[in-house]
Amino acid sequence: MKDKYGRTVDYIRISLTDKCNLRCIYCMPSDGNIFFEKEENLNNDEIYKIVKESAKLGIRKVRLTGGEPLVRKDINELIEKIYLIDGIEEIALTTNGMLLEERLEFLHSHGVKSLNISLDTLNEEKFKYITRGGDIHKVFRSIEKSLKLGIKIKINTVVIEDINKNEIIDLINFTKDRDISLRFIELMPIGEGKKFKGVSNGEIMKIIEDNNLETVILERNKKDGPAKYIKIKDYKGKIGFISAMSNCFCEDCNRIRITTDGMLKKCLNWKSDINLKKVIREGKEEKLLETIKNGIYNKPKMYLFNKQDSNEENRNMNEIGG
């Protein structure tokens, strides 16, 4: 369906858990995290109901994210259920890759055609530092195995001043012989992200030019979402730019989000104000469709980054579902 600004909304992103097996420095604090209790999280049945009603409103793509979606023990059952919902054409997953390798066959056989894997560095020690303890080899093995299975891979990379800016070209070269999309995502001042200085995509482009890499700008495809893509001559992969901070992409926004605790978010950085969990748990399921419909229709025109507005989201990315 369309929202009141005429944007077609066909994509739902669901945070399956706020918990994570890593602690990336710009996403979660190292300790002192207060997580939702299990019963505060939406259960599989509740998520299924939300997706089923959303599909009736024209939602066609579901992304499962978090926190780390693969730490949720019952994720396989959930995917099995979503896979069978009429209207859902695509299931995708955003993951840090720590638990991915052993799940790939299952995901592949249950409609997961594309994976977004986070990788900010190619250096083992730096990966440990950024993620506070992650094993980069698990990510590498998952990428290679996914490609063999024919699953599309997008790598999400956040570049931070003084941490991984010096690796931009190495990361780009990772796509030379691999058919993957490497997307630079600008650091957003959300939660822990406020403590770091991100590198803008304009600066990254300048670094690419300074290194004399021959680039071609690719035509925008609606399926690319907020990413703009280029190709480097003779490279198999693509390079994408998601420029939330330097180039607002709200005009083409096609998505809603569901937080771990069941709030419908109309926009990434607006506070959540529609409690779908309450609607379901109070036994008012007949109102679920209408509630989601209102949420979609009333999506705000644009985000509130740096606007000092009281509606601005102050949760960390792991709760919202990045």
Residues making contact with ligand SF4 (CB under 6 A) = 20, 22-24, 27-28, 66-68, 96, 118, 131, 317-318
Residue of 189, 210, 207, 208 whose CA lies nearest to 198: 189
Q: Is 67 left (phi over 0), alpha (psi -120 to 50) or beta?
A: left
Q: How far is the CB of 107 from ligand SAM (least distance, A)?
A: 14
Residue 65 touches which member of ligand SF4, ligand SAM, none, C-beta under 5-8 Å by kind: ligand SAM
Instruction: State in angstroms the smallest separation of the CB of 198 from ligand SAM.
Output: 7
Q: Which does 167 bind (CB under 5 to 8 A by kind): ligand SF4, ligand SAM, none?
A: none
What does the alpha-carbon distance between residue 18 and residue 207 come to, in Å, rounded to a whole number?
35
How far is Cα of residue 217 from the mean position of the Cα atoms in its chain? 23
243 scored as a contact of ligand SAM (CB under 6 A)? no
User: Interface with ligand SAM by CB under 6 A: which range of 82-90, 204-212, 228-236, 314-322?
Assistant: 314-322
317 annotated among ligand-binding-site residues: no
8 annotated to bind ligand: no
Alpha-helical (H) ranges within 115-258 are 124-131, 136-149, 168-173, 201-210
| Cross-strand partners of 185 | 242
- Map the footprint of ligand SAM across residues 223-242, applying CB under 6 A: none
Is residue 1 annotated as involved in ligand binding?
no
**Residue 132, annotated ligand binder?**
no
Strand runs labelled E in 160-265: 181-185, 215-217, 228-232, 238-242, 255-258, 263-265
Tell me whether residue 26 is annotated as binding.
yes
Interaction site with ligand SAM (CB under 6 A): 20, 26-27, 65-66, 68, 94-96, 118, 156, 158, 185, 187-188, 190, 193, 317-318, 322
